[in-house]
A and B are shown apart, each in its own frame.
Chain A
Amino acid sequence: EAAVTQSPRSKVAVTGGKVTLSCHQTNNHDYMYWYRQDTGHGLRLIHYSYVADSTEKGDIPDGYKASRPSQENFSLILELASLSQTAVYFCASSPDRVNSDYTFGSGTRLLVI
């Protein structure tokens, strides 16, 4: 079954530390996305990628980097974690068709202390 798998499911990080969130998809989709979810803000796009070895900035990229080493894998990197980055992070994938929906991962709960 096609799926998007995120790891870890939850993480506690120290302010100023480095955090890497990982996403793996078996859907053979071209597009992958990272969103963060905060209460009252819905989902906001951080970074996305439509091909391996290339990433694009979304609406709120500051403080985040992304890496797409292969079609299946897409990582979100917080080089210097801050308290404001406490949120739930969702990875998603979609094929290269504008009428297609997203397949979401189960989310990563990140708490920065």
Chain B
Amino acid sequence: GEQVEQRPPHLSVREGDSAVITCTYTDPNSYYFFWYKQEPGASLQLLMKVFSSTEINEGQGFTVLLNKKDKRLSLNLTAAHPGDSAAYFCAVRHTGYQNFYFGKGTSLTVIP
């Protein structure tokens, strides 16, 4: 079955620095990719969803890159601020299959 590896498990950066979180997956049928943010004690909120046809996706303060050749998905927070401190999870879904495969998460701390 699908294996989703997320790195690093913990990340600490200073305010204004960039933070990069990476997920690798194994199944070439993976087509839909999602990033979720979970603040302490809260639920998971969708940050961005990415389709296999799009390699670069930009959000507010972050960029998501998809490298299909290497089966790698990355979340790059540019100029991180303390409000970005949270856990981040990637999720992968195959074509024709409804369930997600989640990475184990990255706990990000942004130091003021």
Residue numbers of A with Cβ under 8 A of B are: 31, 33, 35, 40-45, 48, 50, 58, 90, 94, 96, 98-99, 101-102, 104-107
Contact = CB atoms under 8 A, between A and B. Distances in A.
A45 B94 CA distance: 16
B51 A107 contact: no
Interface in B68-92: 89, 91
B46 A101 contact: yes
A41 B43 CA distance: 16
A15 B105 CA distance: 29
Contacts, number: 54
Contacts of B36: 104
A35 to B, nearest CB: 8
Given A90-B44, A104-B43, A106-B42, A98 B97 contact: yes
Interface of B: 6, 9, 31-32, 34, 36, 42-46, 49, 51, 89, 91, 93-100, 102-105
A48 B51 CA distance: 24
A50 B43 contact: no
B44 A104 contact: yes
Contacts of B46: 101-102
Given A45-B99, A50-B98, A90-B43, A98 B93 contact: yes
